[in-house]
Structure 1
Amino acid sequence: MAKPGENCLCGRPVPLAHCCGRYLADFAGTPAPDAEALMRSRYTAFVVEDAAYLLATWHSSHRPVRLHFEPGVKWLGLEVRSHRVVDADLAEVEFVARSRWGGRATRLHESSRFVRENGRWFYLDGVML
């Protein structure tokens, strides 16, 4: 977890508490305002292994029963390549997340779809690029 005053884990140059941390700390009262903010907060949740947040922000039509975090994975950074609003309730975010596991560097390059229901954004699905 980022130390007080350090930049958010999602890579934005603001403290965690003023960025993704507020969404993770108060899912019910502080929803991510758009698909990009939700995607960034989900990356942060993967870094800190917050399964409850990840499952809560996964659309019910695609939500897994549980999540398993691979021991020893170190997340190295996130690059948001694009955020496209399709309409008022659908958006797409293309990103690259870098990690290291077992001495090997890996990249997750995905185009993700997000849907808004009742004013709250959810991760719907994604296509690996």
Structure 2
Amino acid sequence: MSKRSDRARPRTAAAPCPCGSPAGYGGCCGPLHRGEAAAPTAERLMRSRYSAFAVGDAGYLLRTWHPRTRPRSLDLDPGLRWLRLEIIGVGDGTAFHTEGTVSFRAVYRDGGGEGELREDSRFLRHDGAWTYLDGLVQG
């Protein structure tokens, strides 16, 4: 999910949220991206990070990456379009946990057609907030 894009793609509050929630972007991932709310669970953080890839918000992705594994910069590919997200499984990651896992399938389109990314992601709380630690890409 990377390459270069310093600016997020514009997204209106009423637009469908890329994470697949029935709520519009303004009531779902938008407040997390703008720093007005924090993800209460690892799954919610995963969904908001997927949406950040979809709208091109590299700043949010870096802010929600655990400092132990966070890259110095992140280049998003402006030609890549994220089409849909499917959560396959969730392990822990609630308000009562400090660690969690989320397995997902994300479908994208690029110049060569459609493809998919499958990953088992690990999340840790850092300073009280959920952060993305790392992931194991499947297949």
TM-score (norm: length of structure 1): 0.91
How far has the Cα of 1:15 moved from its partner?
1.1
The structure 1 residue matched to 2:119, chosen from 106, 110, 121, is: 110
Is 2:21 the partner of 1:15?
A: no
Aligned to 1:74: 81
Aligned to 1:128: 137
Code of the residue aligned with 1:22 in structure 2: it is P
Aligned to 1:59: 66
Q: Distance in 2 between matches of 1:31 and 1:11?
A: 18
Aligned to 1:39: 46
The structure 2 residue matched to 1:96, chosen from 94, 97, 105, is: 105
Code of the residue aligned with 1:74 in structure 2: it is R
How far has the Cα of 1:25 moved from its partner?
1.1
Code of the residue aligned with 1:57 in structure 2: it is T
Say if 1:2 and 1:9, in contact at 8 Å, map to a contact too: no
Code of the residue aligned with 1:14 in structure 2: it is A
- Where structure 2 has 5 or more consecutive residues not aligned to the other structure, the ranges are 1-9
Report 1 or 2 for greater relative contact order, CA contacts < 8 Å, sequence distance ≥ 6: 2
Taking every aligned residue pair, what percent have the same amino acid on both sides? 43
The structure 2 residue matched to 1:83, chosen from 80, 90, 93, is: 90
TM-score (norm: length of structure 2): 0.85
Kindly report structure 1 stretches of 4+ aligned residues shifted beyond 2 Å.
Answer: 1-7
Give the CA RMSD over aligned residues. 1.5
Aligned with 1:7: secondary structure? Answer: coil
Aligned with 1:23: secondary structure? Answer: helix
